[in-house]
A and B are shown apart, each in its own frame.
Chain A
Amino acid sequence: MADDTDAELVVRAREGDVGAFEALVRRHLRVSYGAALAVTGDAQDAEDVVQEAFFRASRRLDDLDPPAKFLPWLLAIVRNHAHDVRRRRRVRATDELHDDMRADGAAVDPGRSAERDELRRRLVDAMATLSDVQREVLLLHDVEGWKHREIAALIGVAEGTVRAHLFHARRAMRASLGTELLEG
C-alpha cells in the first residue's frame, strides 16, 4: 500500500476500501496538521480541523477530479475549515472557558515540555504570517521532504515559483525566529 500512488488509493477508497483511505490519511496527516496548526495556532483546534477535513474528504471523494490531485484538494479543505475555526475562535475570544484553556497550556497537552511548547508557539506564530501557498510549500519541502518539481506539479505552478515561495517563506521565518532555532 505504501508504494501505491494517491490516485490508486483514491480509486480504491471510492470503491469502499477502508485500508486505502487509511493509507491516504497516514501519508498526508503530517502536512495537513502543519497547515491546520499554522492557521489556527492551537494544537487541539488543529487536530479537530484535520479530523473534520479527512472526514469531509471521505464523503466527497467522488468530487475529486483527477484523483491524483488528492493532496491539494485535501489541503484546500483543511485550509478553509481552519480559517473557519479561527474566525469562530476570534468571535468567542472573550469566552471565559477559552481564556482558561489558553492560559493553562498543560490542560491541553500535559506531557509536553515547556521549552518545546514555547518553540512550537513561536513557530506557529511565525508560520501564521505566511501566505497559504508559502506555508504549504514550506511544509511540503521542509517537513515532508518533497522536491521543488514535485511541489510544482502538485500545485500547478512553475518550479521557479515554488523556489520563490520557499525562499520568501524561509526568510520570513528566520526574520521572526532567528536562525539558531530553525536550522535542521
Chain B
Amino acid sequence: MHEERLDLSSIELEPERRELLVAAIMARAASGLRARRSARGVLVLVGMWRRPVIAASALITAASVAALLLGSGTAEAVPVATADLYDALQLEQPVREWLSEGRGPTMVDLVSAVEDGF
C-alpha cells in the first residue's frame, strides 16, 4: 500500500482565522460551562446537608407517629379497640401492643420494629 502522506495543508485554517474561531466558540460555550460550575456548587452544598436533613426527617416522623397514636388513645369518641378491629385494620403486633397499652412507641420500639421487618 502507498504510505506517502498527502499534503492537505491548504485546507487548514490560517492562524488568525483559527484564533477567531476559538474565541467565537468559547464566547458561546463559556456561559453554559460556568453554569455547570454553579450547579455543581449547589449539589455539593445539598450533599453536605443531606445526612442531617435525613436524620431530622426521621426524628420528625417518629414524633408524628407517636403523637398520632397517643392522640387516638386518649380520644373519647374512639370506640374500644378489639382484636377484630385490629385484624380488620391489619395492624402489626407491635402497634397492637402500643394501642392496648395506651402509649406511643418509644425510639427503642421503633428501632426494634424496623429491625424485625415491620
* Contact across chains for B21 and A29 when beta carbons are under 8 A apart: yes
Q: How far is the CB of B49 from chain A (nearest CB, A)?
A: 20
Question: Majority SS of interface residues in chain A?
Answer: helix
Q: In chain B between 38 and 81, which residues have their CB closer than 8 angstroms to a CB of chain A?
A: 38-40
Q: Are B37 and A16 in contact (CB under 8 A)?
A: yes
**Whole-angstrom distance between the alpha carbons of A21 and B26 in the complex?**
8
* CB-contacts of B2-17 with A (<8 A): 2, 4-14, 17
- The answer to whether B10 and A120 touch across the interface, beta carbons within 8 angstroms, is yes
Residue among B25, B36, B37 making CB contact with A25, cutoff 8 Å: B25
Which residues of chain B are near A139, meaning CB under 8 Å? 8
CB < 8 Å: which of B4, B18, B36, B39 contacts A184? B4
- Binding stretch for chain B, among A46-54, A81-89, A91-99, A150-158: A46-54
One digit per residue, 1 when the CB lies within 8 angstroms of any chain B CB and 0 when it does not, for chain A 42-72 equals: 0000010011001100110000000000000
A73 within 8 A of B: no
A76 close to chain B: CB less than 8 A: no
Q: Roughly how many angstroms separate A142 CA and B32 CA in the complex, as a whole number?
A: 34
**Residue A39 CB within 8 A of the other chain:** no
The chain B residue sitting closest to A33, CB to CB, is B13
Number of A-B contacts (CB under 8 A): 106
**Docked complex: A152-166 residues within 8 A CB-CB of B:** 163, 166
Task: Determine the distance from Cα of A183 to Cα of B9 in the docked complex, in whole angstroms.
Answer: 11
B108 contacts partner chain A, Cβ-Cβ < 8 Å: no
Min CB gap B42→A, angstroms: 12
A167-B2 in contact (CB<8A): yes
B30 within 8 A of A: yes
Centre residue among A47, A112, A163 by max chain B CB count within 10 A: A47
The interface residues of chain A lying within 8 Å CB-to-CB of B37 are 15-17
- Which residues of B have CB within 8 Å of A114? none
Q: How far is the CA of A122 from the CA of B40 in the complex (A)?
A: 48
> What CA separation (Å) do A111 and B17 show in the bound complex?
11
- On whether the beta carbons of A116 and B29 are closer than 8 Å, the reply is no
Q: CB of B89 within 8 A of chain A?
A: no
User: Least Cβ distance of B21 to chain A in Å?
Assistant: 6
Residues of chain B lying within 8 A (CB to CB) of residue A22: 22, 26
- The 3 nearest A-B residue pairs measured at CB: A16-B37, A184-B7, A58-B29
